[in-house]
Amino acid sequence: MISSETRDIIVNGLWKQNPGIVQLLGLCPLLAISSNVVNALSLGLATTLVMAVANVSVALVRNFIPHEIRIPVFVLIIAALVTVVQLAMNAWVHPLYLVLGVFIPLITTNCIVLARVEAFASKRSTAHSVLDGVMMGLGLTAVLVVLGALREIFGKGTLFSGLDLALGPQAAGWVLHVIPDYQGLLLAVLPPGAFIALGLLIALRNLTESLRAERAGQHARPPASTSSDAATA
Amino acid sequence: MNPALRETFSTSATLLVFSVICASLLAGAYLVTRPTIEHSEQVEKMRLVAQALPPGSFDNDPVRDARPLAPDPLLGLKRPGLAYLASQGGTPVAVVLEAAAPDGYAGEIRLLVGIRADGRIAGVRVTAHKETPGLGDYIDVARSPWIHQFEGKSLEAPPAAEWKVRKDGGRFDYLAGATITPRAVVKAVHKALRYFAQHKDELLRLPPPAPGGKP
C-alpha cells in the first residue's frame, strides 16, 4: 500500500519530471559520458547515490539552515559528498574511476542535484527526500543508459563494452556485438551524436504524451513547456 | 550588539559549523581510502610497466627501483618523469622510460617506452591520450595491435631517416585518416631511444641495495 504522495514522487522522478528529458537538468554528464552503456550506467548510479545522500543530509538539517545562506550550505554538503564518492570509487573501482575521471567531481556542478535539494529536500520529510533523490537519480540514469545504448550500437555496433572495468576481468567476454563487422559511425560517439540522440528521445517522449492526451479525449495540447525555466548544466 | 550584527554572527557561525563538519567528513574519507588508492595506483602502474617489458624477463619490482628523470626535450615531459629499471638476478636487463609526444592531434600523448640494455625496444604503451575515438585511438593497445610494431626496433635499425610513418617515406604503418597521431608517436619513441643512448650508463645503473629497515 503506497500513499498517493509516494506514488507521485516515483512517477515524477521516472517520467513526469524526468531530469534528463523533461527538466533538461544535468545535461553536462548526460552528453559527455553517454558514449556507451557501462559509462552511462556507472555515472548515473554515482549521481543517484549522491542525490539520495544529499537529499537525506539536507532534509535532516533543514531546520538549522538560515534561509539566507542555504545555497552555500547545500553546495558545501553536495561537494563534500561527491568528494567522498570520488575517493571511494578511486579506492574500490579504480579502473572505472580512470574512465569516468573528470566527470565524477563534475557531479557537484550538476544542477539537478542542487535543484532537488533546494526544491524538495529543504522543504519535505527525510523519508520522502530519500525517495525523491533515488527516483530522480534513477530517472536520469535510465535516460543516460538509453542514450548510451543508442550511441554505442550506432557508433560501435556493440553493447556493454568495458564491463570488465566495473566488474573485473571475468566480465571482458560479456560484450555483445550487436552488429557484426560494423565499421562504426563516428558521429554517434562524438558529442553531436549525444545531442541528436537526446533530441530524438525528447521528441519521442513528447509524442507519447500528446498521443496519450488525445486518447484521453482532450484536445491535443502542445507538449508541456518545461525547458524555458530550466538552466542546463 | 545591534540585531543585524548579531544575525550576521550567528549566520556565519552556522556556516562555520557546516564547513567543519564537511571538512572532517572529507578528512575521514581520505584517511580511510588512502591506502587502497595508493595500492591500486601502484598496481595499475606495475601493470603498464610490465606490458612494456618482455614477460618473465625480470625478477625485481621496477616500480620500486624507479628513479626520477630531469625534464628533457627528448622525453617531451614538462615535469620530472620516472625511469623504471628492470633487472634479473642483479643484472639490469631493460629500462622503461616515461615519455610524451607533445604534438598529437588532440594534445599530449603519454607513453611508456621499454628499452632493453642492448638498445632494442622491448615494448611501447600509451598511458594517456585525447585522440579522436574510433580514428586516432588505434595507438592504444586495447584498440589495435599497431603499437607492437616498435618491438625490436632500435636507433640503428631502421636508420634515422626511416623512423617515420610510411606516408613520409619511413618504416612504420599507419591507418588512413589519422596520420598526425602515429607521426607524433613514432617521433616520440625515436627521441626516447636517443635519450637512452645518451644516458645509457646512468639509466642502467642498479640502485644501491635498500638500507635495512625502510624500503
Strand partners of residue B178: B175
Report whether pLDDT(B215) > 60.
Answer: no
Question: What residues of chain B lie within 8 A of the CB of A62, using their CB?
Answer: none
Out of B23, B37, B43, whose CB is closest to A91? B37
Share of chain B above pLDDT 90, in %: 22
Number of domains in chain A: 1
Distance from CA of B135 to the nearest CA of A (A): 8
Instruction: Give the confidence band of A155 by pLDDT, cuts at 50, 70, 90.
Output: confident
pLDDT in tens, B63-99: 888 888 888 888 888 778 888 888 888 888 999 998 9
Out of A72, A92, A189, whose CB is closest to B15? A72
Range of the domain at A57: 18-218
> Once rounded to an integer, what is the mean pLDDT over residues A146-169?
77
Residue B209, C-alpha cell as written in the block = 641495495
**CA end-to-end distance (rounded Å), chain B:** 61
Contact A137, A49 (CB under 8 A): yes
pLDDT in tens, B114-146: 999 888 999 999 888 888 777 788 888 877 888
Report whether pLDDT(B31) > 90.
Answer: yes
Contact A151, A185 (CB under 8 A): no
pLDDT in tens, A42-98: 888 888 999 999 999 999 988 888 888 889 999 999 999 999 988 988 888 877 787
Listed in sequence order, the residues at least 6 apart from A10 whose beta carbon sits closer than 8 Å to its beta carbon are A131, A135
Report whether pLDDT(B11) > 80.
Answer: yes
Work out the mean pLDDT of chain B and round it to a whole number. Answer: 85
**Residue with grid cell 492526451, as numbered in its chain:** A213
Number of residues assigned to chain B: 215
- A positions 76-135 inside 8 Å of B (CB): 76-77, 79-80, 83-84, 87-88, 90-92, 94-95, 98
The pLDDT assigned to B214 comes to 40
**CA end-to-end distance (rounded Å), chain A:** 37
Taking CB atoms and an 8 Å limit, are B33 and A98 in contact across chains? no
The pLDDT assigned to B120 comes to 92
pLDDT in tens, B39-59: 887 887 888 888 888 877 888
Contact B81, B69 (CB under 8 A): yes
Contact A153, A178 (CB under 8 A): yes
| Phi, psi of A40, deg, nearest 5 | -60, -45
pLDDT in tens, A93-124: 877 787 777 678 888 878 888 888 888 888 88
The pLDDT assigned to A172 comes to 65
Residue A228 placed within a domain: no
The pLDDT assigned to A220 comes to 47
More confident: A1 or A201: A201
Taking CB atoms and an 8 Å limit, are A72 and B133 in contact across chains? no
Share of chain A above pLDDT 70, in %: 84
Question: Chain B interface, mutation test: which of A34, A69, A87, most B Cβ atoms within 10 Å?
Answer: A87
The pLDDT assigned to A166 comes to 62
SS (H, E, C) B66-77: EEEECCCCCCCC
The pLDDT assigned to A230 comes to 43
Question: How many other C-beta atoms can be found within 10 angstroms of the C-beta atom of residue A1?
Answer: 3
What stretch of H or E contains B104? strand B91-104
Report whether pLDDT(B102) > 50.
Answer: yes
Distance from CA of A101 to the nearest CA of B (A): 12
Taking CB atoms and an 8 Å limit, are B40 and A87 in contact across chains? no
Q: Could you tell me the sign of the dihedral formed by the alpha carbons of A59, A60, A65, A70, in that order?
A: negative
For residues B104 and B136, what is the distance between their CA atoms, to the nearest angstrom? 9
Instruction: Give the confidence band of A168 by pLDDT, cuts at 50, 70, 90.
Output: low
Q: How many helices and strands, by DSSP H and E, does chain B display?
A: 3, 5
**Residue with grid cell 536520469, as numbered in its chain:** A140
Residue B56, C-alpha cell as written in the block = 618473465
Question: Chain A interface, mutation test: which of B21, B31, B32, B33, most A Cβ atoms within 10 Å?
Answer: B33
Residue A191, C-alpha cell as written in the block = 558529442
Out of A73, A84, A98, whose CB is closest to B18? A73
Question: What residues of chain B lie within 8 A of the CB of A168, using their CB?
Answer: none
Out of A79, A95, A184, whose CB is closest to B134? A184
Contact B106, B132 (CB under 8 A): yes
For residues B183 and A158, what is the distance between their CA atoms, to the nearest angstrom? 30
pLDDT in tens, B142-186: 778 888 999 988 988 888 888 888 888 888 888 877 888 999 999
Residue A131 placed within a domain: yes
The pLDDT assigned to B209 comes to 63
More confident: B68 or A174: B68
Interaxial angle between packed helices A126-156 and A4-11, expressed in degrees from 0 to 180 and rounded to the nearest 10: 30
A to B CB pairs, distance under 8 Å: 64
